[in-house]
């Protein structure tokens, strides 16, 4: 796996607009900022060590995994993960944009010392096992992630090195829901990117997966019927404020299950929708253009990627994603061309 290093770290300096910030150079790959709010600390990075040139912001909204922005390999090497952005050539994008990635709520900027991982799948599985703390689970909601991003964008808009005439927000997987909500709440967003989004949220995806298991005869339709009924009841509970207070992590299920396609149609800015045809949500994404056509809107560009799954990897003969054939560079090249 390709390894990268950190670059800039910032030290806390109080300011008088409701939060504090930081500043101090360390190595040479990204600029780290820390915003101190009353009940939260927001770490985020700009993938550039030189902030002297004026450029617009491209905010990358990562998926749901509780992975620090940087991984400490046995106290011997610091690897920049940055929400998985290292899966593609971000440096070419950084020539024209300041790419910003925000840490997940209640997840440290740099991990505790860990083993060395060989691929992205190992990283995700490790931190899913070891980083699912109660603070994170109770903070991982659409509203919280959106509000944290809005704070970051407000801070960045006041920086002299930021070109505020253009603001791109792009999200992958669950991050696409966060990106959508940001675009709805911040009228400064000029373009929106959606990469393998989940148009009917976590509950909708879970129901879809159960149906596919029944279609493939992995489970019976009687079992599927029972599971779908249980999920429907669970969704109802996940929206109950009393249950949310008592049940660890349930807030995420209700919060990230909002149907997205009609939310996309509310926007008048250009939208790029890119998805693998073998992703669980691909059939829902196929329907998105119909919603725009129905209301006579043409601001959606949809692109399907053949024989690719949720991580934009090739699908092998067993129907699984082959991590040896990752196509993130292809997808992001299309996205960047669309941005021009």
Q: What is the DSSP string of 33-95?
A: EEEE-SS-EEEEEES-S---S-EEEEEEE--S----SEEEETTTEEEE-GGGGGGS-HHHHHT
Q: How far apart are CA 286 and CA 1, in angstroms?
A: 33
Name the token pair of 205: 């995806």
Tens digits of residue pLDDT in 198-251: 999 999 999 999 998 999 999 999 999 999 999 999 999 999 999 988 888 899
Q: How far apart are the first and last CA of the chain?
A: 31
Q: Closest by alpha carbon to 174, among 199, 150, 192?
A: 199
pLDDT of residue 132: 76
Contacts of 229 (CB under 8 A, 6+ apart): none
pTM of the model: 0.90
**What's residue 112's pLDDT?**
87
Domain layout of the chain by residue ranges: 205-252
* Rounded distance between C-alpha atoms, residue 173 and residue 280, angstroms: 11
Taking alpha carbons only, the member of 126, 119, 125, 80 closest to residue 323 is: 119
Mean pLDDT by 10 residues, the chain (340 residues): 35 37 55 90 91 96 92 85 90 94 93 84 85 85 96 96 97 97 98 96 92 93 96 93 88 92 97 96 95 97 96 89 91 95
- Is the Cβ–Cβ distance between 149 and 61 less than 8 Å? yes
pLDDT of residue 113: 87
């Amino acid at each position: 796996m390709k390894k990268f290093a950190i670059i800039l770290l910032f030290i806390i300096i109080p300011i008088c607009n409701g939060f504090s910030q930081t500043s101090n150079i360390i190595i040479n790959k990204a600029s780290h900022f820390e915003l101190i709010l009353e009940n939260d600390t927001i770490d985020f990075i700009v993938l550039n060590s030189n902030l002297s040139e004026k450029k617009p912001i491209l905010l990358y909204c990562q998926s749901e995994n509780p992975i620090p922005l940087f991984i400490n390999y046995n106290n011997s090497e610091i690897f920049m993960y940055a929400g998985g952005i290292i899966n593609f050539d971000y440096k070419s994008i950084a020539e024209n944009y300041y790419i910003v990635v925000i840490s997940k709520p209640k997840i440290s900027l740099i991990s505790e010392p860990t083993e060395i991982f060989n691929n992205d799948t190992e990283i995700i599985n490790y931190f899913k096992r070891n980083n699912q703390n109660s603070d994170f689970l109770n903070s991982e909601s659409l509203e919280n992630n959106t509000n944290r991003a809005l704070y970051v964008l407000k801070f960045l808009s006041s920086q002299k090195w930021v070109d505020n005439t253009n603001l791109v927000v792009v999200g992958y997987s669950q991050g696409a829901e966060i990106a959508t909500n940001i675009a709805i709440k911040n009228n400064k967003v000029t373009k929106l990117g959606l990469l393998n989004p989940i148009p009917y949220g976590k509950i909708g995806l879970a129901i879809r997966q159960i149906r596919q298991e029944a279609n493939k005869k992995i489970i019976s339709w009687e079992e599927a019927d029972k599971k779908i009924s249980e999920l429907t009841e669970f969704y109802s509970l996940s929206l109950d404020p009393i249950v949310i207070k008592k049940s660890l992590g349930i807030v995420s299920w209700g919060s990230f299950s909002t149907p997205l396609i009609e939310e996309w149609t509310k926007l008048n800015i250009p939208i790029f929708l890119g998805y693998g045809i073998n992703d669980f949500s691909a059939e829902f994404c196929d329907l998105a253009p119909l919603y725009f056509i129905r209301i006579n809107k043409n601001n959606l560009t949809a692109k399907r990627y053949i024989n690719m799954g949720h991580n934009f990897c090739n699908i092998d003969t067993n129907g699984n994603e082959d991590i040896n054939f990752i196509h993130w560079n292809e997808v992001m090249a299309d996205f960047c061309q669309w941005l021009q």
